[in-house]
Amino acid sequence: MTTHPARTGLRRFFGVATDGQTYRNLAYLALTFPLGVLYFTLVWGGGAAGVSTLPILVGAPILVAVLAMAVAVADIETRLARGLLGADVSMNTPSPSEETLTEYAKRLVLSPQSYLAVVYLLSKFVIGIAAFTALVTAATLSAVLTAAPLVYDRPGVTYNFGPNVVIDTLPEAMVAAVAGILLAFVSLHVFNLAARALARYTELLLDAGELSP
């Protein structure tokens, strides 16, 4: 028996809400903001401290430590992307115990992967702000529209969307509720696309094999 294309399309559209991967994607996106702030603080702050203290010979060890931290945190990011997004990414990062400290520092400084890790961690700050804004905006707008039939006529509650759009009747509130529900489902699909794009981005920047000069 052949499934009607429209029925298949509707199943895919509404089925996003029952797909476990959707909520793993949302969790990953929600984490990008606090993690992005943390990464920016550590990398940018440590880098600035290292550059400013280079004249007194303290800066070089600080900058090497920042690179080591960036590589270690980027490795954690690959694990997070694998676990939540299903990304095909991994880093093979030797620890200082596997070689002398001088050899390890040399690897860090000469390896392009170290600097890709720094770029990736700093970029998560911008990505985190965008993800947080999108999540909050979509959730708030969907909730407000969906709740319209319950609260539109309560004292002190006004539904104004621009100067020419006012919801003050039950039919209008019902239309708004339907729009809110549809917006929620559309938002889930958009967030899934964003999560897949971030998985690919992580693969491109961090799946560079072993840390080597």
pLDDT by residue for the chain (213 residues), tens only, comes to 455 666 677 888 889 999 999 999 999 999 999 999 999 999 999 999 998 898 888 888 999 999 999 999 999 999 999 999 999 888 776 566 667 788 888 888 888 889 999 999 999 999 999 999 999 999 999 999 999 888 877 887 777 776 777 888 889 889 999 999 999 999 999 999 999 999 999 999 987 655 554
Hey, which residues does 159 pair with through a beta bridge?
Answer: 167
Specify the pLDDT at position 4: 62
* Closest of 58, 60, 59, 67 to residue 96, by C-alpha: 67
**CA–CA separation, 198 and 77 (whole Å):** 11
- Tokens standing for residue 101: 């400290």
Specify the pLDDT at position 180: 94
Check: pTM over 0.75? Answer yes or no.
Answer: yes
Q: Where are the beta strands (DSSP E) in the chain?
A: 91-92, 159-160, 166-167, 209-210
Specify the pLDDT at position 209: 53
Specify the pLDDT at position 208: 62
* Closest of 202, 38, 28 to residue 125, by C-alpha: 38
**CA–CA separation, 192 and 85 (whole Å):** 9
Q: Work out whether strand 159-160 and strand 166-167 pair parallel, antiparallel, or are unpaired.
A: antiparallel
DSSP string, 77-96: HHHHIIIII-----EE---G
Specify the pLDDT at position 159: 78
